[in-house]
Homo-oligomer: A and B are copies of this chain.
Amino acid sequence: MINQTMEQLGKAPSKIREIFAYGCRRRKEIGEDKVFDFSLGNPNVPAPKEVNETYKALIDSSSDVYLHGYTAGVGDDSTRAAIADNLNKRFGTSFQAGDLYMTCGAAASLKITITALCCSGDEIVTFAPFFPEYRVFTETAGAKLVVSMTDPDTFQIDFDNLAAAVTEKTKALIVNSPNNPSGVVIREEGIEKLAQFLEEREKEYGHPIYLITDEPYRELVYDSDVSVPFVTKYYRNAIVCYSFSKSLSLPGERIGYILVPEEVEDSRDVFAAVCGAGRALGYVCAPSMTQHVIERTCGLVSDLGVYRTNRDLLYNALTEYGFTCVHPDGAFYLFMKSPEPDASAFCEKAKAFELLLVPADSFGTPGYVRIAYCVTTEQIRNSLPAFKKLAGVYHL
């Protein structure tokens, strides 16, 4: 008998990937521009031009051993120093290269951190809506995921729910802001209150509660009055899981990092456990050439103008048609209330208009759908009549 947990995980692939696969088939049937696929968080905006230029320049000017050889398991020293410098400049922090562990993207960052921290029977708390793989990563590490519902109107933290969710068994809390799938940013007062709450519970229980911040969308905010608080400045035991997938539009290249600040309790032990977990999970090093590119481009961000345009176009049109949407501060997802209680049934009806939306049940919020607007603005424009017809089905 092979491992049944793994077999079942493999046979129940993510709903998102299923819809995306349907979209690929459907495009072949009726044509590329006839299908309005909003399923996948695959950035449509290209990487900053410097990224591809740097790849080419490095290929032309470097030895293959430097370019394609192993780096240390923790990552290339110069890359880690460049990232630390960039963070310090932007956030007034004082991180060192040695606080950073380079990873194969956000999923690896999270899985490694969870594996490093958790013992069997531990609990990890997160806020709904949440990225479904949190459950997979946590449960296959022998721990339990405890979900705390956010405020149903604002999707900000509901501290009464949180107070009930955090117990002596809580090893860590995962926070994802800007949020996938709601687009909501937890404001400074929320982070301050969260830090205070966790510190009180740490004192009460006599052990640290780590705050894992899953931040692939940190750079993706669109309004001058919205900023993403840098969590390590508010809470001592914060561990940052970052990915360049979205900020540099490199999701397939699998590149990110884990930041374990010095202030974290037993910081060097935690960092060692991160190294050990990376090793145990089969991560030898993050892709080398891309690490060297990141050293030179980690201060850049893809053109956010397209996302802002898309967000405004879509949010304004859908609310005008009568849909109820959460106003997204960041990320590239619009979170919409399903006009009928069963979001899957709603998504099936949307399919009839070639609109591919993702029901948010697996994100812990039934009755909502996620619309990934990291697509061409043209696709958004062309899809609007279909959304209008869909609204008509529900007499909105």
Contact = CB atoms under 8 A, between A and B. Distances in A.
Given A9-B279, A56-B59, A273-B6, A251 B69 contact: yes
Nearest to A243: B284
Contact of A281 (B52, B63, B281): B281
A328 interface: no
A279 B2 contact: no
Contacts of A70: 40, 42, 251-252
A10 B279 contact: yes
A117 interface: yes
Contacts of A112: 282
A352 interface: no
A2 B117 contact: yes
Contacts of A42: 65, 69-70
A173 interface: no
B6 A115 contact: yes
B250 A68 contact: yes
Nearest to A103: B282
A69 B252 CA distance: 5
A266 interface: yes
A130 B104 CA distance: 26
Contacts of A44: 65
Contacts of A7: 116, 269, 272-273, 276
Question: Chain A: interface residue count, which band?
Answer: 35 or more
A32 to B, nearest CB: 13
A224 interface: no
Nearest to A76: B252
Interface string A156-172: 00000000000000000
A9 B116 CA distance: 10
Interface string A27-69: 0000000000000101110110000100110010001110111
A138 B128 CA distance: 34
B64 A249 contact: yes
A2 B270 contact: yes
Main DSSP-derived SS at the A contact region = helix
Contacts of A108: 282-284
Given A47-B68, A64-B249, A253-B68, A2 B273 contact: yes
Interface stretch (A174-182, A190-198, A285-293, A335-343): A285-293
A111 interface: yes
Contacts of A254: 104, 254, 284-287
Q: Which of A10, A73, A266 has the most CB of B within 10 A?
A: A10
Interface in A1-25: 1-11, 13, 17, 21
A276 B72 contact: no
Contact of A282 (B8, B9, B17, B107): B107
A4 B68 CA distance: 33
Contacts of A290: 287
A106 B81 CA distance: 28
A279 B8 contact: no
24 contacts: A2-B116, A3-B273, A3-B277, A4-B119, A5-B280, A6-B273, A6-B277, A7-B116, A7-B269, A10-B273, A10-B277, A13-B279, A40-B70, A43-B69, A46-B64, A46-B65, A52-B64, A104-B284, A107-B284, A111-B281, A251-B288, A254-B284, A254-B287, A287-B287
Given A7-B276, A252-B285, 14 more contacts: A2-B116, A6-B274, A7-B269, A9-B279, A10-B274, A10-B276, A10-B277, A11-B272, A13-B73, A71-B252, A108-B283, A111-B281, A253-B289, A287-B287
Sorted nearest first, the 6 A-B pairs with minimum C-beta distance are A252-B288, A111-B282, A9-B276, A10-B276, A10-B272, A10-B275
